[in-house]
Structure 1
Amino acid sequence: MTQGAGSEAGTDAGKAAEVTYLAIRRQILSGERAGGEWLREGDLAAVIGVSRTPVREALRRLAAEGLVRHEPNRGVQVEAWGVDDLDEIFSLRSQLEPWGCGLAASTGLADLEALAELADRMDEEARRAPPDLDAITELNNRFHRAILEASGNGRLVGLVSTVVEVPLVWRTFSHYSSEAMRRSLAHHHEIVQALRAGDPEWAESVMRSHVRAAWASLREEHLDPEQGPS
């Protein structure tokens, strides 16, 4: 095999691994692969149309992200999260994201017009009957990531992106009441105002309220008043 052919084969293998990783990850985040479900390499390879090698690599990446777990002598299972797991995650988010938002208010790196447009588009999607929750989720993720990127702290972006995966699995917006949705959308606009004012304390405060309110909406639905966490 020539050097060029070897390089091309390596590129094809890399593409197959990436496609496989994205496909399985999307299935998990969409809820198509439920928590506790066993993932069989052969079945996944057949469905996606690849060999087992990229499936194996994809599962390693997903395990590193905490979306699946390896059970010795049993295989790979989609991670299942409970209320206690979410409590830890939102506690982290309520520290990291407000800090990042405060930094973004100081750096001047935020594209305020783009953020305002994302907030407006979320409003539009929420006004649909019924609201397009998938569209709102995607726009919301772009909004939060753009703010973190504007913090100027690259490590913070990577850290928070791994933390928010679990709430995505739980499809946060599907648990919102109409009041909670209105509050969340209003927070987006106030965050943009705080960034425009260049006020770190205001920006940090609103983002913290935003994150904690999101957790409250999830927690209310998954706690039995008499039995406690489910």
Structure 2
Amino acid sequence: MRAAAVAYQAIQCGITEGDYPPGSWIREDEVAARAGVSRTPVREALRKLHSEGIVELLPNRGAVVVGWTSHDLDDIFDLRMMLEGYAVRRVVEAPRGDIDLPALNAMCTEMEQLLDQGGTANHDRIGELAVAFHSALHRASGNRQLMSILPGLNQVPLVHTANRQRTHEQLARSLTQHREILEAITAGDADWAEAVMRAHVRAARAALRTEDSRPADVPAREA
């Protein structure tokens, strides 16, 4: 793994675990020590996170973790609902990429097993698998514009936060929706696949509603 990727993963993990809450400053030297890399790849990782809207780079000050307002989250999930629904419809109706149904099935099975085991660490792993599941569908759509836009909307820290906010029943319903999306794709039913995907994204937004408030001094993402 490239040094910049290691630094990126370290920062993202720190945000997910709460080491870098919204509004906190990320020190390059601390990240470098944590990731075992020099400061140059840390800067590269921060630029990537900035492009994804996860951190804000302030001239002569450094990087600060972005906070999200309720309006920001509504905008993000509205776009996700439309684009994710379109992507899965493309997978069914006019796929231009390879769709590995056994791999998607294996992801669903692993998520279900992790949920049965319980625990915060398993919930985080479910979040990683959920991102992988959605990313596989984006690639299978064959739409390069979608593949460039959706990763920035499907923020990994937001996925982990949503998973931690959900009750066991809510998370179980989310995994059932993953399974149903796969069944709809296998059946070749685009309407079914899109409807379940849109409901799935709406449920993810609902899980974050208790996190909508943020301190006034937390920078929001620039328009």
Length-normalised TM-score, structure 2: 0.83
User: Which segments of structure 1 move beyond 4 Å, counting only runs of 4 or more?
Assistant: none
2:66 maps to what in 1? Answer: 79
- Give the Cα–Cα distance (whole angstroms) in 2 for the partners of residues 63 and 143 of structure 1: 24
**What's 1:41 paired with?**
28
Q: Read off the aligned partner of 1:141 and give its amino acid letter.
A: V
Name the TM-score, length of structure 1 as normaliser.
0.81
How far off its partner does 1:110 sit? Answer: 2.2
1:194 to 1:50, Cα distance in 2 relative to 1, 3 A: closer
Deviation at 1:86, TM superposition (A): 1.3
Q: Which letter does structure 2 place at the counterpart of 1:89?
A: I
1:113 to partner: Cα distance: 2.1
The superposition leaves residues 90-137 of structure 1 with CA deviations (integer Å, 9 ceiling, x where unpaired) of 011001000001111124542222222211221111111446201211
How many angstroms apart in 1 are the aligned matches of 2:133 and 2:139?
10
Q: Paired residue for 2:90? A: 103
> Which residue matches 1:112?
101
Q: For residue 141 of structure 2, give the secondary structure of its aligned residue in structure 1.
A: coil
- The alpha-carbon deviation at position 183 of structure 1 amounts to 1.7
* C-alpha separation in 2, matches of 1:172 and 1:51: 32
1:150 aligned residue: 140
Question: Are the aligned partners of 1:194 and 1:203 in contact in 2 as well (CA < 8 Å)?
Answer: yes
Cα 1:120–1:83, aligned 2, differ >3 Å: closer, same or farther?
Answer: same
1:70 Cα deviation from its structure 2 partner: 1.9
User: Does structure 1 conserve the Cα–Cα contact (< 8 Å) formed by 2:184 and 2:190?
Assistant: yes
What is the alpha-carbon root mean square deviation over aligned residues?
2.3
Find out whether 1:183 has 2:173 as its counterpart: yes
Q: Which has the higher contact order (CA 8 A, sep 6+)?
A: 2
> Equivalences for 1:118-129 in 2 at 5 Å?
118-129=107-118
* Structure 1 residue 170 displacement after superposition: 5.4
Partners of 1:102 and 1:75 in 2: CA distance:
41
Deviations 1:25-61 (A, max 9, x none): 3322343221111122333334434433332232222
Aligned length: 210
Aligned pair in 2 of structure 1 residues 121, 170: CA closer, same or farther (>3 Å)?
A: closer
Is contact 1:29–1:165 with CA below 8 Å preserved after alignment? no
Contact 1:105–1:198 (Cα < 8 Å) also in 2: yes
**CA distance in structure 1 between the partners assigned to 2:21 and 2:159 by the alignment:** 9
Structure 1: 5+ residue stretches without partners: 1-13, 225-230
Which position in structure 1 is the counterpart of 2:150?
Answer: 160
- The SS at the match of 2:57 is strand
Distance in 2 (alpha carbons) for counterparts of 1:217 and 1:42: 35
% same residue: 43
CA 1:52 to 1:190, structure 2 compared with 1: closer, same or farther past 3 Å?
A: closer
The answer for unaligned runs of 5 or more in structure 2 is: 214-223
Relative to structure 1, the CA distance from residue 191 to residue 59 in structure 2 (aligned partners, 3 Å threshold; closer, same or farther) is same
Q: Quote the Cα distance in structure 2 between the aligned partners of 1:64 and 1:26.
A: 17
CA distance in 2, matches of 1:59, 1:151: 29
